[in-house]
Structure 1
Amino acid sequence: MTTTVLEGWTELYRKALDINPRDAWSTHALCHVMEMTGRQQEGIHMMKDTDQFWTTCGMLACHNYWHWALYYIEIGDYESALSIFDEHMARLAKASQQMLDVVDVASLLFRLQMEGVNVGDRWDTVYDYCKSHLHDHLLVFNDLHILLACLGSGHKQAAQELMDSIQTFVKEGQGHNRDVSADVGQALLQAFVAYDDGDFAGTVELLSPVRYQVVTIGGSHAQRDLINLFLIQAAIKSPEKKHHKLARSLLNERKVWKPKAPMTDRLMAKAIEAHAD
């Protein structure tokens, strides 16, 4: 996506908001532009200045808060990200318990954990929203975030139930999501289970072969960046030197994709320190 195209979109979305400031979809689109072009501070100020408008959209309010929190995580301001979670996202997800909101709260907590933040018992409530959806299998994207809630809250039996259910779904189900589950979903979710078990080399071996097929699971580029970051973290932590090389390659790839991304720089420094020997 070229800068010229993104700037054209920015102008279009701003015109839409001039006509109707409560057009939460245009605000959401601008969030993506800010995220993709590394304009974190501009995004933060935009959300602060307009929240009286887009928070009236029940469907997108929690998701737009998620985008706002992503800017803070990218720049390393974890306290502000947690404040958004506690003051807004958790409340909205509790009220709706809709999957888009549940996915957002799970995603944010996992991203914070990868950054080394202690999220306390926040996973417990997220798991309560997810535990009735272990056998849905409507989207691999949803299944992934339900699994994160199971693992994050320590409900390993529920995580295994989900994995067993997906295996049955792949064998006996039908339709597009069954095919995506077979081609990508099983390996993807198994990688997160391996990571939770401390098997970082196994995580990389499971996820690497399907990493460029992850687009098929659904979600936006911003949402699927969780998986990019996850693979980088696993490759850094792996004892295998070939995975350390992969981590550097993935970090360079992310640097090209998002040149203005402080998180990439932090991870590069982490990789150098971890592999100094």
Structure 2
Amino acid sequence: MCACPVTLSSPAALSDWNGVIHGLLSHGQQTPVHLGRLMEAEPDFAMGHAARGLFCLMTGRAEVLPSAHDALKAAKTSAAHSTITPRETGWITALDLWLHGKPTAAIYAVEDILRALPHDTLSAKLSHGIRFMLGDSAGMRRSVERILDAHTADHAGRGYLLGCHAFTLEETGEYERAEQVGLEGLSLTTDDAWGLHAVAHVHDMTARPDCGIALIENNTAAWDRSNNFRYHVWWHKALLHMERGELDIALGLYDAQIRADKTDDYRDISNATSLLMRLELEGMDIGPRWEELADFSENRVEDGCLVFADLHYLLALTGASRGAARDSMAARFARDASKSGEMPARVEAPGKAALAGLTAFSEGRYDAAFADLAAARPLMQTIGGSHAQRDVFERITIDSGLRAGRYDATSAILRDRQKTRGGHVDRFAATRFEKINTARGIAAQ
């Protein structure tokens, strides 16, 4: 698909490899089908084994680690018995480094590939994905912008790379340009769920829900055949309806779409828990919905793959009052934070403070919650995800401050949040500023 060298021996295998590439770029449902068929036909394809291992790691699930190690072993064995390209070697190296707790070094291995092959959209998407999990928005942008010129008008992957570029622009605060680039990418590749979602992010951050809802409804081709990423698109739509004050519609989307499939994928759990938390903060009774999410989250207490995932599991555990599981997660955080490495460092800070703050909030200890969450706040981007995803923790921090009567400090956080959003005041901020002004007025009387 991107004219990069690959050691495959048959046109059919190459067709399936192109299917893997297209599937990864478009978040398509058929990606594992193509990869499975390819590896059955070409069991010694080293890059295919490396891809399988890397895809495992991107799921953020502890139980797939043995499969990822098996994939690495198979990739190295295949490489030792054949002549492979530097690109394929780079993917094996990236898998090896990430498996050994060095995701940043894995990114550098992929970037080495892109320096030699700047038109390699697949490797660009891999770098983009790992950086996203580390919260490295500036690095994501630099990576994409280094290779934009190599993705010329006739490049089959140009639209997908523009979708990635749009997301990096949005995450680094260039909202107008992000929208323009994202829409240009969608005009080239109508099935780019990531590019569509990048523009939806712009509408969320700039408080333009009507535009965002219309975007999603008018571009169904971008997401209706995607994998579980389509649930994330529905999550965005629910947030946009919340911005319009349509809480009942948001909850309806939760039941009909966002949790239509009761999966335990951390991305699906994060969609669900963060939406329910937002709705509860707005005073909505969400009934017994926490229970189903808590059942899955209890099984994830010892995972420890991503702080981002852990904190969303914690929302479910506290929402359903699973105190024993919550305490077990706190104990595991303490153990993980004592280890060395990139991910344990994120558990140490901001993970431990964020977990303590969320726990305190669930128990009504709002002053302690605000202190811990405010302490975690400067490093929260490092847990990964997007501004929109991490905003649930911002909202809890702000509401903790309000309930604790910490009006000056809370106002400062609200203004900083507004600055991140390009000066736009969304419904959440407007209502919280109003509550602060009302409380100050009462205090003055």
**Same-fold status (TM-score > 0.5):** yes
Call closer, same or farther: CA 1:4–1:213 in 2, change over 3 Å. closer
Cα RMSD over matched residues? 1.9
Q: How far is 1:4 from its partner?
A: 9.8
Give the equivalent residue in structure 1 for 2:137.
none
Superposition TM-score, scaled by structure 1 size: 0.92
Give the equivalent residue in structure 1 for 2:298.
131
Give the equivalent residue in structure 1 for 2:365.
199
Give the equivalent residue in structure 1 for 2:186.
17
Query: Could you tell me which of 330, 334, 337 is aligned with 1:167?
Result: 334
Call closer, same or farther: CA 1:156–1:274 in 2, change over 3 Å. farther
Map 1:106-255 to 2 at 5 A: 106-171=273-338, 173-239=339-405, 243-255=406-418
Q: How far is 1:34 from its partner?
A: 1.3
Check the 8 A contact 1:13/1:27 in 2, yes or no.
yes
Distance in 2 separating the partners of 1:23 and 1:128: 33
Check the 8 A contact 2:351/2:376 in 1, yes or no.
no
Check the 8 A contact 1:69/1:81 in 2, yes or no.
yes
Identity %: 27
Check the 8 A contact 1:135/1:166 in 2, yes or no.
no
Distance in 1 separating the partners of 2:379 and 2:181: 31
Aligned partner letter, 2:197:
H
Check the 8 A contact 2:190/2:221 in 1, yes or no.
no
Aligned partner letter, 2:340:
Q
Distance in 2 separating the partners of 1:14 and 1:183: 37
Give the equivalent residue in structure 1 for 2:438.
273
Q: Which has the higher helix share?
A: 1
Q: How far is 1:97 from its partner?
A: 2.4
Q: Which moved more, 1:10-19 or 1:54-63?
A: 10-19
Equivalenced residues, count? 271
Q: How far is 1:65 from its partner?
A: 0.9
Distance in 2 separating the partners of 1:13 and 1:198: 42
Check the 8 A contact 1:76/1:263 in 2, yes or no.
no
2:216 maps to 1:70: no
Give the equivalent residue in structure 2 for 1:263.
428
Q: How far is 1:193 from its partner?
A: 0.6
Q: Deviations over 1:215-262 (max 9, x none)?
A: 1111111111112111110000004xxx21111222222233331412
Give the equivalent residue in structure 2 for 1:48.
217
Structure label with greater radius of gyration: 2
Q: How far is 1:90 from its partner?
A: 0.8
Tell me the secondary structure at the aligned position of residue 219 of structure 2: helix
Check the 8 A contact 2:196/2:222 in 1, yes or no.
no
Tell me the secondary structure at the aligned position of residue 141 of structure 1: helix
Distance in 2 separating the partners of 1:270 and 1:51: 39
Map 1:78-117 to 2 at 5 A: 78-92=247-261, 94=262, 96-117=263-284
Check the 8 A contact 2:337/2:348 in 1, yes or no.
yes
Check the 8 A contact 1:39/1:260 in 2, yes or no.
no
Q: Deviations over 1:188-219 (max 9, x none)?
A: 10001111111101111112223111111111
Aligned partner letter, 2:436:
A
Q: Which of the pair has the greater relative contact order for Cα pairs under 8 Å at 6+ separation?
A: 1
Aligned partner letter, 2:438:
E
Tell me the secondary structure at the aligned position of residue 87 of structure 1: helix
Superposition TM-score, scaled by structure 2 size: 0.58
Check the 8 A contact 1:75/1:263 in 2, yes or no.
no
Distance in 2 separating the partners of 1:273 and 1:59: 43
Q: How far is 1:126 from its partner?
A: 0.9
